[in-house]
Structure 1
Amino acid sequence: MRPAQAIHNWQADHKGDHGGQEEKPQYISAFKALSGYVKPHRWALAGVMACTVVAILSELLQPYLMKIAIDDNLLAGKNDFRGLLLICAVYLGLSVSSFIFAYLQNNLLQQVGQSIVARIRKQLFGHIMKQSMGYFDRMSSGSLITHVSSDTEALNQFFSQVLLSLFRDGLTILFILVLMFQLDTTLALYCLVLLPVIFLIAIAFRSFMRATYQLARTRLSRMVAFVAENLSGMGLVQAFHQQKEQQRQFDERNGLYFRANLREIRTNVLFGRTFDILSNLAIALVTWIGGMAVLGKQLEFGVLYAFITYIRQFFQPINTITQQWNTLQSATVAISRIWTIFGTEPEITDKTEETPRSAERSVTRKQMTLTTERSQGVSEEAHSFGSVRGEIDFEHISFSYEEGIPIIQGLDLHIEPGEMIGVVGTTGAGKSSLISLLCRFYDVKEGSIRIDGTDVRDIPQATLHRLIGLVQQEPYLYSGSIVDNVRMFDDSISREDVIRACEFVGADGIIRKLPDGYNTLLSERGSGLSAGERQLISFARIIVFKPKVLILDEASANLDSQTEQLIQNALNVVSKQRTTIVIAHRLSTIMQADRIIVMSHGEIVEQGSHQELIELGGQYRELYEHSQGQQAG
């Protein structure tokens, strides 16, 4: 079974699952899906099993050799020095064999486990990247970090610890029982009386250990999520002097996790010591019964020695297997959570079947494959969007994030190719939602949004996002050089193209003043650059990727007047021959727009040029006078 098919089968098994269903079937299905990743490594796993069998036999035959040396040589009164020397040589060979094959077994298993986990981690990250924006609204970043890091690490422990323990320790127990019965059936039967006691203790501890483990993991996940959210919002925390409050909340979560960890450790120690006591009692019982038999000449001393050694070795794998219960629980929960993510389909998907197109629609199927062509190294001329005009129609659209709470209601808007539109309005008016719908981060509930007559739902998302260039209020820069940040790590875009783009928007002079110029490495989010410099780099991206529609979402909201003028100059450059939509907090940004849209409660209440709206004396004039008052103040 291929991994992709395994995921598909898991999704089919759980289509329509709800939180109230039993979790056990999900675990079973998740492990079945995991088998698809194991299958390509079946020969390596066969090698692991072979090495394990040899390593176990090499270790367990050592007490049997000592039994032969004691009963057949030392106590028999023979002075067979060569025989003892041969036994010592074989004993040494078994010890070396046990070491070598145990080493090979662990290395092979680690290679298989790490390969599988690395593959799952890669696919998990890729699957998360494909999710729609609504998914990230529901899922906290801390939870997703836990899934990609902690859950995959728990899966790694399943291969490196649980899987090995179940096979190795299970075989060890079986081989010990065989050897014990071969040595003396009566004494072996006495030892088997302990098995029901061991089983009852394991059952008694199992549910309690599971509860303590899950409590600790849940509290750890909450603490990680809390830390991730605080780090992402550290500016807000410091701006409002929330350090003490956030420290208090962290201490509270940390304390809960600390206590849960101590409870888990106490449970493990209690369980382990219980097995130690049981092991010592078993050894005492075998020593007493076997010793009486040796004194009565019914049992050889070498057999008793081997039995005592095997009893010690018998309890160790049982204890190890039971101790792995927590790791198995962790892996089981982790596998279920990982496959739950795999089973989450993106809300926004590309259409897989052909959709009828009218002859006049200019966004053709050929144009929709341009992103694929770019990835294959097709020249700039070959993947130009030259025939796309950039006409945009919002046709009676309605949208809401939650049922019953409308954000946009019955909105109609027509934007001509090459037109610059300014969008203003109070907070919550629906400005950013309008842009999110055009970019298809979300889908409209009613109506349609069209580019050159083609519904955006009919355009592959990769192509749509090439058609639309988005500059946000806080442009995101990645860890890497300035060149890579401008071309977004697309090696098909040359360094010369990047430099020309930066010169075009006025960023070249600023970049060349940096220590390493265009090779300057930026840290996460571009720290070290001012807000204006980061915005100029985002404008350079527009020049490089040449989208037909440009969107600025509050791009100058946090800039000073001088920097705003630089951004305004860059906007004038990049908006030429492009349909441009500017969401503006500062009205000075959009005063020269061809048309200004005033939104309120998800509806367009006014539209026209700056002068027309001022003369109208409505909401726009109020916003303008308010902004003028702020500037004067």
Structure 2
Amino acid sequence: MSGSYQTTPAERKAAFRHIVAYAKPHLGTFLLVFGCSLVAILADLLQPYLVKIAIDDHLMGGKADAKLLWMIGATYAGLALLSLLFTYWQNNLLQRIGQSIVAKLRKDLFRHIQSLSMSFFDRFPIGSLVTHESSDTESISQFFTQVLLSLIRDGMTLIFILIFMFKLDVKLALISATLLPVIAIIAVVFRSWLRQTYQAARTQLSRMIAFLAENLAGMSLIQAFNQEEEQFKQFEARNQRYWKANVKEIRSNVLFNRSFDILGNVSVALLTWIGGMAVFHRELEFGVLYAFINYIRQFFQPINAITQQWNTMQSATVSMDRLWRIFSTKPEVVDPEPEQAVDPKLEDVRGAIAYRGVEFGYLEGTRVINRLDLSIRPGEMIGIVGVTGAGKSSLMSLLCRFYDVTAGAIEIDGIDVRRIPQAKLHRMIGLVQQEPYLYSGSIIDNVRMFDERYTRGQVIEACRFVGADPLIRRLKDGYDTLLSERGSGLSAGERQLLSFARIVLLEPRILILDEATANLDSFTEQLVQHALQVVSAGRTTLVIAHRLSTVMHADRIIVMKHGDIVEQGTHAELIEQGGYYKELYEHAKGGHGLEELQTG
């Protein structure tokens, strides 16, 4: 799902139908916009006709009646005021529609993104999703507030100008009408080119934003490895490609718009010459020529306005395509059908886990887990060890149903996890990761995950339970301390203790710790180990660890290699076997010191 993804005509139609469906609830307001536009347009177009009457029927006709001229002048001023008022109402109504549509679109897009499976996020850059949620939805807002307004207002203006022109003089009107095919040919010739140049610019922008988001997230690593200059060069290259794509897009739009300017000026010159000769030979009244020249100038104004919106139209079309790709993506992991669903009560969950003939691979044709069988008793603490790529984290992701197994089944208390609604499953399982994620907000809100059903007192009690209370109270504002993104300002151990407090508060029956102590120093690890013992009491606990010290006192240790369980038993039993686990143990003891392995 890269930025260069190409849509088919059928997909474009589907995307357009999907986005335009957001306008249906506002149909009544659109009719009001249409009415306001109609009044404003007629008020504008009657003004040259009034001047024509004043010239031909009064000034040139020898009927210089001051009272009638004053009446015509007052009517002219009234029409100008009427046009101003109805244009104002039209713009306000349309802006309200556009903002309502884009607000609902953003909400639906965010909700849909949240519903997608983890496999979607594996292949879709986060920077691109940010672009879709912000920039693309704004482009669609501009479609409804600018493009649609132009199509309604300027389209009707063209129709009424043609009506007035034919009423004034059929011959000159027919000459003017010959411009329409020329305009159509220019539009068709430029259409494909404009779309390509705009899409190319948007693609480069999306790639640049994705690169920027990735770099900002990993800035500590970039600085640690002195990669600033190299990353700057890569950013500069992407920025240069975006600049070139933008220049090409601007050049195409300038050529497109200037083509109409030249055509408009040539048309005015031609009609002035033809009309002037007709007036000279008394075949045409001077007022008619005056009105006609005004209308021919106004004739190109709406065309220019529509073409000026062509870029916005291209932006909206590309944005519709991109958003449709997301909306049309279905979650690979879905809730069971109602007749197949099992909805156990949380208090009745024992926490027995069984992997039965489980196979899994992230990509088609690859396999990370090989026909694995494993039974875990309720309340048992299981340590899972193995080198990187052994399949440890995949085992946990399958239990949480971030992905579905390729073959076999995973059961909790004898129930296939695919039959348990995901919301209930995720309440049953608590996950503590290597890098606990904290949001912008207070410590209170981060522990209770912004769920106000949990009181302040319950949050404080949970923090006391895991030993985080003294650390929090040392902060200036205590539990009301506002954290920035990812909890910067707190140590890795403090962030981890807050994640344990979440577990205590939410009370899942199964606890998963995925490398939860990997980034901690020895002292902080002791605090977290104590919290782990407190939190895991009475819960089925699965601990993934690189540090063997984390799992040495587990009830059972599972040793994985290339997606298979090669050994299992207690620490002492595995050492006595003298197999792969002892090899890992000896390697860790030699590389990191025996004291670390004996911490526990």
TM-score range, shorter chain: over 0.9
1:295 equivalenced with 2:280 (yes/no): yes
- Residue 420 of structure 1, aligned match among 356, 381, 384: 381
1:365 equivalenced with 2:335 (yes/no): no
> Residue 224 of structure 2 corresponds to which residue in structure 1?
239
Structure 1 residue 366, shift from structure 2 partner:
5.0
Structure 1 residue 389, shift from structure 2 partner:
1.0
> Residue 423 of structure 2 corresponds to which residue in structure 1?
462
Q: Name stretches of at least 5 consecutive residues in structure 1 with no aligned partner.
A: 1-18, 357-363, 368-384
- Residue 400 of structure 2, aligned match among 439, 455, 460: 439
CA distance in 2, matches of 1:193, 1:423: 79
CA distance in 1, matches of 2:241, 2:318: 21
> Residue 157 of structure 1 corresponds to which residue in structure 2?
142
1:197 equivalenced with 2:182 (yes/no): yes
> Residue 27 of structure 2 corresponds to which residue in structure 1?
42
> Residue 597 of structure 2 corresponds to which residue in structure 1?
none
- Residue 548 of structure 2, aligned match among 587, 596, 608: 587
Alignment of 1:209-358 (within 5 A): 209-355=194-340
CA distance in 2, matches of 1:258, 1:519: 45
Structure 1 residue 137, shift from structure 2 partner:
0.9
> Residue 527 of structure 2 corresponds to which residue in structure 1?
566
- Residue 136 of structure 1, aligned match among 78, 97, 121: 121
> Residue 145 of structure 1 corresponds to which residue in structure 2?
130
User: SS of the residue aligned with 1:426?
Assistant: coil
Q: Which amino acid aligns with 2:380?
A: E
User: SS of the residue aligned with 1:473?
Assistant: coil
1:288-334 deviation line (CA, Å, top 9, x unaligned): 11111112222111111111111111011112222322322222222
> Residue 93 of structure 1 corresponds to which residue in structure 2?
78
1:388 equivalenced with 2:349 (yes/no): yes
Structure 1 residue 401, shift from structure 2 partner:
1.1
CA distance in 2, matches of 1:442, 1:60: 63
CA distance in 1, matches of 2:360, 2:180: 64
> Residue 475 of structure 1 corresponds to which residue in structure 2?
436
Q: Which amino acid aligns with 1:468?
A: I
User: SS of the residue aligned with 1:552?
Assistant: strand
CA distance in 1, matches of 2:361, 2:249: 45
User: SS of the residue aligned with 1:386?
Assistant: helix
CA distance in 2, matches of 1:20, 1:336: 10
> Residue 382 of structure 1 corresponds to which residue in structure 2?
none
- Residue 77 of structure 1, aligned match among 35, 59, 62: 62
CA distance in 2, matches of 1:520, 1:93: 61
> Residue 12 of structure 1 corresponds to which residue in structure 2?
none
> Residue 364 of structure 2 corresponds to which residue in structure 1?
403
1:206 equivalenced with 2:191 (yes/no): yes
Q: Which amino acid aligns with 1:332?
A: T
CA distance in 1, matches of 2:164, 2:557: 89
Q: Which amino acid aligns with 2:335?
A: D
Alignment of 1:489-528 (within 5 A): 489-528=450-489
Structure 1 residue 77, shift from structure 2 partner:
2.7
> Residue 627 of structure 1 corresponds to which residue in structure 2?
588
CA distance in 2, matches of 1:195, 1:551: 69
Structure 1 residue 168, shift from structure 2 partner:
1.0
CA distance in 2, matches of 1:403, 1:189: 64
Contact 2:194 2:314 in 1 (8 A): no
CA distance in 1, matches of 2:483, 2:403: 31
Structure 1 residue 204, shift from structure 2 partner:
2.2
Structure 1 residue 578, shift from structure 2 partner:
0.5
Q: Name stretches of at least 5 consecutive residues in structure 2 with no aligned partner.
A: 595-600
Q: Which amino acid aligns with 1:456?
A: V
1:379-400 deviation line (CA, Å, top 9, x unaligned): xxxxxx3221111111121111
CA distance in 2, matches of 1:172, 1:198: 16
CA distance in 2, matches of 1:392, 1:600: 21
Q: Which amino acid aligns with 2:111?
A: G
User: SS of the residue aligned with 1:428?
Assistant: coil
Q: Which amino acid aligns with 2:466?
A: V
> Residue 600 of structure 1 corresponds to which residue in structure 2?
561
CA distance in 2, matches of 1:204, 1:131: 40
CA distance in 1, matches of 2:257, 2:329: 40
Alignment RMSD (CA, Å): 1.7
CA distance in 2, matches of 1:404, 1:267: 45
More displaced 10-residue stretch of structure 1: 552-561 or 241-250: 241-250
User: SS of the residue aligned with 2:83?
Assistant: helix
CA distance in 2, matches of 1:79, 1:146: 64
1:233-282 deviation line (CA, Å, top 9, x unaligned): 22222222221111111111111111121122122222222211211111
More displaced 10-residue stretch of structure 1: 76-85 or 590-599: 76-85
Q: Which amino acid aligns with 1:140?
A: P
Q: Which amino acid aligns with 2:343?
A: R
Identity %: 64
Instruction: Summarize the Cα distance change of 1:403–1:189 in structure 2 as closer, same or farther, 3 Å threshold.
Output: closer
More displaced 10-residue stretch of structure 1: 131-140 or 259-268: 259-268
Q: Which amino acid aligns with 1:524?
A: E
Structure 1 residue 544, shift from structure 2 partner:
0.2
Aligned residues: 591
> Residue 554 of structure 1 corresponds to which residue in structure 2?
515
Q: Which amino acid aligns with 1:535?
A: Q
Q: Which amino acid aligns with 1:265?
A: I
Structure 1 residue 520, shift from structure 2 partner:
0.8
CA distance in 1, matches of 2:261, 2:532: 75
Structure 1 residue 607, shift from structure 2 partner:
1.1
> Residue 152 of structure 2 corresponds to which residue in structure 1?
167
Which 4+ residue blocks in structure 1 deviate beyond 6 angstroms? 19-22
Structure 1 residue 190, shift from structure 2 partner:
1.9
Q: Which amino acid aligns with 2:572?
A: Q
CA distance in 2, matches of 1:194, 1:462: 62
CA distance in 2, matches of 1:198, 1:601: 66
Contact 2:463 2:501 in 1 (8 A): yes
Q: Which amino acid aligns with 1:258?
A: W
CA distance in 1, matches of 2:7, 2:475: 59
Structure 1 residue 629, shift from structure 2 partner:
2.4
User: SS of the residue aligned with 1:365?
Assistant: coil
Structure 1 residue 79, shift from structure 2 partner:
3.3
Q: Which amino acid aligns with 2:405?
A: V
Contact 2:253 2:311 in 1 (8 A): no
Contact 2:54 2:69 in 1 (8 A): yes
Structure 1 residue 565, shift from structure 2 partner:
0.3
Structure 1 residue 556, shift from structure 2 partner:
0.3
Q: Which amino acid aligns with 1:313?
A: Q
1:160-193 deviation line (CA, Å, top 9, x unaligned): 1111111111111110010011111112122222
User: SS of the residue aligned with 2:347?
Assistant: coil
